[in-house]
Amino acid sequence: MRAITLDLDDTVWPFAPIGARIERVLDDWMREHSPATARMYPPEAMRALRERVWREHPQLAHDLSALRRMTLEIALRDSGADLALLEPAYEAFYAARNQVEHYPDSLEALARIAARVPVAALSNGNADLERVGIARYFAFQLGAREHGKAKPSPCIFHAACARLECAHGEVLHVGDHIEMDVAGAARAGLRSCWINRDGRAWDHPELRPDLEFDSLAGLADWLDAHAAARPPR
């Protein structure tokens, strides 16, 4: 193994608190800047609208930012608001999206892992590592939006390997999702590591991860032990 690709949401930080914060922040923002929109689309209605937009535009499944903008545009238009509010509303959303609460082990583990091998962020989400404040641990960030296809498509894994200048089998992909991360990486020819923080049972009918840990710290410990066991050159 010469490099690692790393999922972000629910691997480095939990997404549920972020989603809850986004709803609160957008509702507060609409109440201040577009009360008519806030009345027509309180959090539950905005959530239902977002889910409808997601269902009706599967061709944009790789571009969560475009889907979010589309949701906000519909809400503003339906409520008769000024569409000039679209970009400021999106910025309010995006600022909240990048306020993350890391798992307790994540930052120290990331530092240890990045000291061993190059790490690339590989995510279907739309977090910005510069805004989050952890870009220093990563060689680069490759998102589904920038690539044009989302995990588990093999091509996004292969694109990351090409940028890392590694063969597919020399890269370990690390993530929490059984299908998107582990099975997707395995089908693309990468090694796979399942971060199973909740103690779930593995239920994929065909594939198993090469490694499984209950935290990123477990992976960092494994890398340290593997390096210590390697004979000197």
Q: Per-residue pLDDT tens for 67-125?
A: 999 999 999 999 999 999 999 999 999 999 999 999 999 999 999 999 999 999 999 99
The bridge status of strand 191-195 relative to strand 3-6 is unpaired
**Global confidence as pTM:** 0.93
Q: Which residue, among 105, 108, 109, 135, has the nearest Cα to 120 in the 3D structure?
A: 135
Question: What is the structure's pLDDT at 233?
Answer: 39
Summarised one tens digit per residue, pLDDT across range 3-37 is 999 999 999 999 999 999 999 999 999 999 999 99
Summarised one tens digit per residue, pLDDT across range 166-205 is 999 999 999 999 999 999 999 999 999 999 999 999 999 8
Q: Which domains does the chain have, with CATH numbers?
A: 3-14+101-229 (3.40.50.1000), 16-97 (1.20.120.1600)
d(CA 144, CA 153): 10
Cα-Cα-Cα-Cα dihedral of 205, 60, 123, 125, to 10°?
-110
Confidence class for position 2, pLDDT limits 50, 70, 90: very high
Structure tokens at 203: 């239920």
For residue 159, pLDDT beyond 70? yes
For residue 230, pLDDT beyond 70? no
For residue 147, pLDDT beyond 80? yes
Structure tokens at 96: 């909240």
Structure tokens at 9: 């949401």
The beta-carbon contacts of 67-75 under 8 Å, at least 24 apart in sequence, are 68/93, 68/126, 71/46, 74/49, 75/30, 75/37, 75/40, 75/41, 75/46, 75/49
